[in-house]
């Protein structure tokens, strides 16, 4: 029996569909989703969750309509500008995972500033996956190791783990995906090897503390085996 997960990961799905259902432009869903995310950072920390990782923008999301991508990037700019003050107030450490070199310089610089300003904070460790893909992350990690002179013929799990974007952070205990979708969409492919999955029917803009409690309740009723037998099993 598990209690509250130490590390929660969430695929923030359904912003656009939520907006369409209400007759609003897709960007309205992203704006609402960003507000929900701000609230959820405080909620998950109050539940005792120590690490919170969200899938905000994938390497494949660049294939969306140009106006939607532009609106998302501008929303992220605003989010980053306000995040330093909010993170310092809440003692939250923020890390952005993904290929940051593929972002515009002003956004890259804002991320660097945010990460540096919050690196000493000891509250919630919040990771935002931005221009992120699980396969891309593994490829970049292997390239990093090769460039460092590592002998790839003797590569170990721990060495690769340390080269990933999530280095120093434990693997997620629980993954939540919203809006009824039941796939991981190239998210944390290495890290989710033994995570528990929970699929919520509601779109991310409708996700709230009650929905989180349902996911935690489901998680807490499960027995995690990590490929072996649980205690008392034969």
Yes or no: say if 7 and 50 are a contact pair by the CB < 8 Å rule.
Answer: yes
Active-site residue identified among 13, 136, 165, 173: 13
User: Hey, what are 138's tokens?
Assistant: 């593994």
Residue 61 is among the residues annotated as catalytic for this protein: yes
CA–CA gap between residue 188 and residue 195 (Å, rounded): 10
Smallest Cα–Cα separation from 13: which of 43, 71, 58? Answer: 58
Phi first, then psi, for residue 195 (nearest 5°) are -80, 155
CA–CA gap between residue 150 and residue 152 (Å, rounded): 6
Active-site residue identified among 27, 46, 61, 90: 61
Pairing of strands 7-11, 196-199: unpaired
| CA trace torsion 52, 45, 117, 34 (10° rounding) | 60
Positions marked active-site = 13, 61
């Amino acid at each position: 029996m598990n209690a509250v997960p130490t590390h929660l990961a969430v695929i923030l799905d359904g912003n656009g569909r939520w907006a369409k259902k209400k007759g609003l432009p897709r960007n309205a869903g992203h704006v609402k989703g960003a507000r929900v995310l701000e609230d959820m950072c405080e909620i998950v920390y109050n539940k005792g969750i120590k690490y919170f990782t969200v899938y905000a923008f994938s390497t494949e999301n660049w294939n969306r309509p140009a106006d939607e991508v532009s609106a998302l990037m501008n929303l992220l700019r605003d989010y980053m500008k306000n995040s330093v003050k909010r993170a310092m107030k809440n003692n939250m450490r923020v890390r952005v995972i993904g290929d940051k070199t593929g972002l515009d310089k002003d956004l890259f610089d804002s991320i660097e500033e945010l990460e540096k300003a919050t690196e000493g904070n000891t509250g919630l460790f919040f990771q935002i996956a931005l221009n992120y893909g699980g396969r891309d992350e593994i490829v970049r990690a292997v390239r990093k190791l090769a460039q460092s002179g590592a002998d790839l013929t003797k590569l170990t799990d721990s060495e690769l783990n340390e080269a990933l974007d999530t280095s120093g952070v434990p693997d997620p205990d629980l993954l939540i995906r919203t809006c009824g979708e039941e796939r991981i969409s190239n998210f944390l492919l290495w890290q989710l090897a033994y995570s528990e999955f929970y699929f919520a029917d509601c779109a991310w803009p409708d996700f709230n503390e009650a929905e989180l409690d349902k996911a935690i309740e489901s998680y807490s009723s499960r027995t995690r085996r990590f490929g072996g037998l649980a205690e008392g099993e034969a």
